[in-house]
Amino acid sequence: MIKVAFLSDFPFSIAFGGKEVQLLSYMEHINNGNFDIKVNLLDFFKIEETFDIIHLFGYSNWFYDIVKNLKNNFPNIKIFVSPTFYYEKETRMLIGSLLSKLCPVPNFFSYKKYFLSKSDLIIVNSNAEKVQLIKLFQIDAPKIEIIYNYVDSSFAIFNNPEDANIFLRKYNLDKDEYFLSVAFLDERKNTLNLLRAFLEVYPILKKKLVLIGKFRFRNNNIKEEVEKLVYTNKDKILHIEYIDRKSDLLKSAYLNCKAHLLPSFLETPGLSNLEAGIFKKPILVGKCKPVIEYFGDKVVYCDPNSIESIKKGILKVNAQSQNIELYDLIRSKYLEKHSVDKLVNLYLSQVG
């Protein structure tokens, strides 16, 4: 039996998003599958914790110390890293990478280059991420494997079929009369520009915007502006901090929305986009390389920097009906059967 320990770079209580959902989903599917592998969450406070593989999720600098200790003192433990690392402003990052080599003290780039280069395998979720890691950190290409993010094939199946309209009943909404955005509210998700664009097209569409997600802002001024827009437009905007992603309530929110809006500056490709897609919903996404790699021409793109572009995108998805092409694409490429089996085979190749 191969023992694998999962470790995320943030406590779930502080930051729980798509990366953490992916981590738990991998663990559930592997442990419930017919594999000779057992996955556990790494217990920080258990002295006698033993494992054959440690799989790190994220790219925080403190992984440097963990990897260094493991390499020096536990050389038989294999190290996997799923960094979920991609920067849209690549030129700026390339300049930073070059300058970091002249810096005599450890820094953002040197820490990451160390734990990435010393790992046994790096798992990325797009070719765009793979190419960027090679450019910025000079990682050997054979060390990097692509496993696409996925949505569970059962996600669109209700636990209780009678709950299909539970979201409408709970929040007094009508089918197709609201847009949905399931995501953290923060700078990268472009919440502020989404709200500004939505409020400008509201007089035309007369549909509400439902935001499901917690605040995760780093800029307090932007946070306060978003709070003000939400608070002063309660007749147009409904903010729900959290809904259990396995609940019928969330599934009902997807099922009955007109479209899903996530004009982020960067996604890979956004778990909620996949979730909306498996409900055959039109989706609006910010244009960036990983999202284009996933979705091709099956979605509506916008320039996340442009309010006008986001407005046009909202109007465009409002005019669409079911997105069957996106649904078929997800079913063919982005379900658990494609990704979990590949990860299991990579574990076996390193230890088996």
Specify if 155 maps to a domain.
no
In this predicted model, what pLDDT tens digit does every residue of 224-256 receive, in sequence order?
999 999 999 999 999 999 999 999 999 999 999
Q: Is 211 in the same domain as 326?
A: yes
Res. 204 pLDDT band, cuts 50 70 90: very high
Instruction: Work out the angle at residue 331's Cα, subtended by the Cα atoms of residues 329 and 333, and round it to the nearest 5 degrees.
Output: 65
Residue 13: pLDDT band (50, 70, 90) is: confident
Residues 189 and 206 in one domain: yes
DSSP string, 100-113: HTT-SS--HHHHHH
Question: Is 125 a member of any domain?
Answer: yes
Q: Within the chain, what is the greatest distance between any pair of CA atoms? A: 64
Token code pair at residue 163: 């709950």
Burial class (CB in 10 A: 0-12, 13-18, 19+), 72: exposed
> Mean pLDDT across the stretch 318-329?
97
pLDDT at 100: 92
pTM of the model: 0.93
Report the 10 Å Cβ neighbour count for 158: 15
Do 244 and 98 lie in one domain? The reply is: no
Instruction: Identify whether the C-beta of residue 138 lies closer than 8 Å to the C-beta of residue 113.
Output: yes
Based on the domain organization, do 23 and 129 belong to the same domain?
A: yes
The Cα-based distances of 93 to 81, 137, 288 in angstroms read 20, 10, 16
Would you call the peptide bond into 263 cis, given omega within 30 degrees of 0 as the criterion? no
Residues 136, 111: contact at Cβ < 8 Å?
A: no
Structural domain contains residue 175: yes
Q: With 90 as the cut, is the pLDDT of residue 352 above it?
A: no
Residues 6+ apart with CB under 8 A from 32: none
Number of domains comprising the chain: 2
CATH number of the domain residue 266 falls in: 3.40.50.2000
Mean pLDDT of 281-285: 99
Which range among 17-21, 43-47, 89-93, 259-263 has the greatest average pLDDT?
Answer: 259-263
Range of the domain at 83: 2-150+335-351
At residue 29, what is the residue type?
A: H
The mean per-residue pLDDT over the stretch 328-338 comes to: 96
Query: Taking the alpha carbons of 174, 179, 181, 186 in that order, is the dihedral positive or negative?
Result: negative
Length of the chain: 352
